[in-house]
Structure 1
């Protein structure tokens, strides 16, 4: 009798996995692939040549090696966050086209596949941001500017990731609905808007520019990496809570739409 009741229980657990289980499965599937190594190594590949370049800059002679390294790195990171979201979403969803034909035939609530994928890519983005913070910290130590040189670096590293979760959700939704090319297009649009729109007065109307916009007042730089004058409106910190609020709303909407699409998706 105990065996007869245990089998349905296991079946119910199989057909109703928690979101944490789905997310963990997504992470386990990607831990040896390109997506994982990209998130792990991209900050290293970006920061090493930038630090070497900062050593040879004219500012280095004035003892501002770390400041140059920090500013240029954060500039690159602000535009790389949405680009990474588009690329990672495109590759992750493409890899799932065949498995989903089987998975969608189970009784598992389909919306969890979408939310779990966004959450897994978000975790990888957090790992990537942490590696970047470590590299910036090493740069400050080598330059003799640790810890006073770090200032708002922690916020400037993690806030773009947090705001960029909306871009991850958008890229995954686009990849699920229209495929790899349009999803990469989301990343390219984020890169361009971060460089061209993030310092404009209408930045809040362009979600692709939000990750870069939160970097600018924290680092005190423009999208081109040049320090901003103190009276520049771009340095106003009020842009940060606005970007966070807008990103949170957009993320919730996109997760809802993604779940709805997966529920209606034909096998």
Structure 2
């Protein structure tokens, strides 16, 4: 499998998809730094509500376009290789890109806290925990967006995962059925971890959204959905043929 992942990574060499891994977190740190004393608070809230989903959407769509431009996947379908492994390697590669982008964002937030916003009530331990959780709860979007990109193209993927996804996330995050909407998981889990409400303000001590019981639920659901989507989409890609 490592050979497949290395091959996919080589395809992304000098592409905008790979540059996004650096651009997305740096852009977030820059925008957050403008808010001064709210740097950490806004830097995380804007990251998991808007920029991280946008990054995943664009990265997956661009990785798909690399193959689409090369005779619409015909070069892959004609090779004596496992299409399932190719699909899974694309997902794993994109997961590594998400990991790196989130770590760069974390480093930027830590430096911002130390240099610009030392009075922030959000500790470095909270930030590290939040980043690790965000990586896990965002993974399901990778096979989902890769499927949407392959099936419907870039614009439809952006509309569904960023446009509709953000609206659904904000609608469901404060409801009892938040667990049924994957787009609300990141926002809901960040409430007890960072103490930040979905609207970006700090929660009061007695706020019901600070209940940490949502953490194992959200993490478990994210892992299950990721594995389910990975299996379903990999099997779907295995059945693709040259058209």
TM-score, normalised with respect to structure 1? 0.82
1:113 paired residue among 77, 80, 86: 86
User: 1:167 matched to which residue of 2?
Assistant: 141
User: 1:11 matched to which residue of 2?
Assistant: none
User: 1:48 matched to which residue of 2?
Assistant: 30
User: 2:57 matched to which residue of 1?
Assistant: 86
CA distance in 1, matches of 2:156, 2:202: 34
User: 1:8 matched to which residue of 2?
Assistant: none
User: 2:77 matched to which residue of 1?
Assistant: 104
CA distance in 1, matches of 2:216, 2:3: 32
CA distance in 2, matches of 1:73, 1:112: 36
Q: Say if 1:146 and 1:154 are closer, same or farther in 2 by CA, change over 3 A.
A: farther
Within 5 Å, give how 1:18-37 maps onto structure 2.
19-37=1-19
Question: How much has 1:212 moved relative to structure 2?
Answer: 2.3
1:38 paired residue among 11, 20, 23: 20
Superimposed CA distance per residue, residues 29-75 of structure 1 (whole angstroms, 9 cap, x where no aligned partner)? 22321111112121111122322322xxxxxxxxxx2xx21111111
More displaced stretch, 125-134 vs 37-46: 37-46
TM-score, normalised with respect to structure 2? 0.90
Name stretches of at least 5 consecutive residues in structure 2 with no aligned partner: none
More displaced stretch, 237-246 vs 94-103: 94-103
Bigger radius of gyration, 1 or 2? 1
Superimposed CA distance per residue, residues 171-198 of structure 1 (whole angstroms, 9 cap, x where no aligned partner)? 1122222322322222333333344432
User: 1:60 matched to which residue of 2?
Assistant: none
CA contact (8 A) 1:78 1:194 kept: no
CA distance in 1, matches of 2:228, 2:239: 17
Q: Say if 1:149 and 1:48 are closer, same or farther in 2 by CA, change over 3 A.
A: same
Question: How much has 1:94 moved relative to structure 2?
Answer: 1.9
CA contact (8 A) 2:95 2:139 kept: yes
More displaced stretch, 91-100 vs 150-159: 91-100
CA distance in 2, matches of 1:50, 1:196: 24
Structure 1 residue ranges (4+ consecutive) displaced by more than 6 angstroms after TM superposition: none
CA contact (8 A) 1:121 1:168 kept: yes
Superimposed CA distance per residue, residues 127-150 of structure 1 (whole angstroms, 9 cap, x where no aligned partner)? 100111111111122147399832
1:224 aligns with 2:195: no
2:123 paired residue among 149, 152, 158: 149
